[in-house]
Chain A
Amino acid sequence: MSLLDFLRPRPKNTANIARERLRIIVAQERATRGGPDYLPLLRNELLEVIRKYVHVGADAVQINVERSNEGEVLELSVALPEVPGASGTG
């Protein structure tokens, strides 16, 4: 690091931001890949509905299509935010 760098404001570590964004989007796209085309839209609409009631992040709704002998099962999981005080560590 050069002397001049200390005088400049430090830029954000954008590589980390890129990595986290990609982790989420790649996981989402893999989960709906090969499934019906409406899955991403369905996921987004579900997210909208859930957000009317609880404050959750953009990646809170995970959707997955599982194939089995009995047919296809749509798996849905919603990660709720931690309730303050509910867990020991707070």
Chain B
Amino acid sequence: MSETLVITSGKGGVGKTTTSASLASGLAQRGHKTAVIDFDVGLRNLDLIMGCERRVVYDFVNVIQNEATLKQALIRDKRHDNLSVLAASQTRDKDALTQEGVGRVLDELKQDGFDYIVCDSPAGIEKGAHLAMYFSDRAVVVVNPEVSSVRDSDRILGLLSSKTRRAEQGEGPGPQHLLLTRYNPARVEAGEMMSVGDVEEILGIPVLGVIPESEQVLAASNSGVPVIHDAGSIAGQAYGDAVARLVGEDVPMRFLEAPKKGFFKRMFGT
């Protein structure tokens, strides 16, 4: 059985690529044959986050336009040999992705025995975002606890229910999950940031995971190692938990509370 996941959000910069890299790595780590595809035509970035930017020869559009085979374009991950990356094209031609072409590539990946195909969507609701979600079986909606991100997520949920192949064929939308990122429990406790519960209630879909705001995420992208590999970081551990839930394990939520401050900080800290 092969499953196609879309990592989407509507709003830009909320953590889709960070999430795609970590979820795909986590699935591979658990032994699933996984491919992760960058749909952000013109703004290739997944390769950097995965740390394989210097090995990109052919990209997604080359495969769609039959300038390269899928085998030539797939980049094998350094850490897991059951994980492959398909880079986005740097072309400025936004029409380079076609529905037929994307469908063909996904079918070929399934025939090649990939268990999970993770589609990293671009921001917005234009063609790239549409094609990233169109063939998906399941959706992970990445959201920050912030008004514009939550509203955009709801737009995306609407599109997932009406503009995917599943929806068009009357199968109804596949499972949808919320993934809250850049969560800051201290600010939630101070009433400065909406809580997981608030966001879950407004959007009405279950939460797959909560990734705390963490300095380790920048360190990970600086070094081209998905943060899930940083077992010492809370963001990495939270992504690990999210992967476990994705494959059906029942794992309690962690990192929802602010670390307790020491005595001195309590008295004089900010």
A binds B: yes
Interface residues of A (CB under 8 A from B): 1-4, 11-16, 18-19, 21-23, 25-26, 29-30, 33-34
- 17 A-B pairs in the complex with CB atoms less than 8 angstroms apart: A2-B266, A2-B268, A4-B270, A14-B191, A15-B192, A18-B146, A18-B147, A18-B198, A19-B198, A22-B194, A25-B151, A26-B154, A26-B202, A29-B155, A29-B158, A30-B158, A34-B162
Among candidates A2, A12, A23, A30, residue contacting B269 with C-beta atoms closer than 8 Å: A2
Within 8 A of A (CB), among B217-270: 265-270
User: 0/1 per residue, B117-133, Cβ < 8 Å to A?
Assistant: 00000000000000000
Chain A: minimal CB distance from B63 (Å): 34
Q: In the complex the two chains form, what is the Cα distance from A14 to B194 in whole Å? A: 8
Among candidates A4, A21, A29, A34, residue contacting B147 with C-beta atoms closer than 8 Å: A21
In the complex, what residues of A have CB within 8 A of residue B265's CB?
Answer: 2
Chain A: minimal CB distance from B159 (Å): 9
Q: In the complex the two chains form, what is the Cα distance from A1 to B95 in whole Å? A: 54
Chain A: minimal CB distance from B112 (Å): 37
Among candidates A2, A11, A33, residue contacting B158 with C-beta atoms closer than 8 Å: A33
Q: In the complex the two chains form, what is the Cα distance from A26 to B203 in whole Å? A: 8
Q: In the complex the two chains form, what is the Cα distance from A23 to B201 in whole Å? A: 9
Q: In the complex the two chains form, what is the Cα distance from A34 to B155 in whole Å? A: 11
Chain A: minimal CB distance from B183 (Å): 12
Interface contact tally, CB-CB below 8 A: 55
Listed from nearest, the 8 A-B pairs whose CB atoms lie closest are A13-B191, A19-B198, A33-B158, A15-B194, A26-B154, A22-B202, A15-B191, A18-B147
Chain B's closest residue to A21 (CB) is B147
Q: In the complex the two chains form, what is the Cα distance from A15 to B125 in whole Å? A: 27
Instruction: Tell me whether B8 is interfacial, beta carbon within 8 Å.
Output: no
In the complex, what residues of A have CB within 8 A of residue B162's CB?
Answer: 34
Q: In the complex the two chains form, what is the Cα distance from A22 to B152 in whole Å? A: 11
In the complex, what residues of B have CB within 8 A of residue A19's CB?
Answer: 194, 198, 202
- Interface size counted on chain B using CB atoms at 8 A: 24
Q: Which residue, A12, A21, A33, has most C-beta atoms of chain B within 10 A?
A: A33
Among candidates A1, A16, A22, A29, residue contacting B191 with C-beta atoms closer than 8 Å: A16
In the complex, what residues of A have CB within 8 A of residue B203's CB?
Answer: 26
In the complex, what residues of B have CB within 8 A of residue A16's CB?
Answer: 191
The reply to whether A15 and B268 contact each other, CB–CB distance below 8 Å, is no
Q: In the complex the two chains form, what is the Cα distance from A66 to B133 in whole Å? A: 27
Chain B: minimal CB distance from A42 (Å): 19
The reply to whether B270 and A2 contact each other, CB–CB distance below 8 Å, is yes
In the complex, what residues of B have CB within 8 A of residue A18's CB?
Answer: 146-147, 194, 198
Q: In the complex the two chains form, what is the Cα distance from A16 to B266 in whole Å? A: 25
Q: In the complex the two chains form, what is the Cα distance from A27 to B164 in whole Å? A: 22
The reply to whether A15 and B158 contact each other, CB–CB distance below 8 Å, is no
In the complex, what residues of B have CB within 8 A of residue A11's CB?
Answer: 190-192
Instruction: Tell me whether B193 is interfacial, beta carbon within 8 Å.
Output: yes
Chain B: minimal CB distance from A19 (Å): 5
The reply to whether A23 and B188 contact each other, CB–CB distance below 8 Å, is no
If A2-B270, A22-B147 touch, whether A15 touches B155 (CB-CB below 8 Å) is no
Sample of 8 further A-B pairs with CB below 8 A, known A3-B267, A22-B194? A11-B191, A15-B191, A15-B192, A15-B193, A18-B198, A26-B150, A26-B154, A29-B154
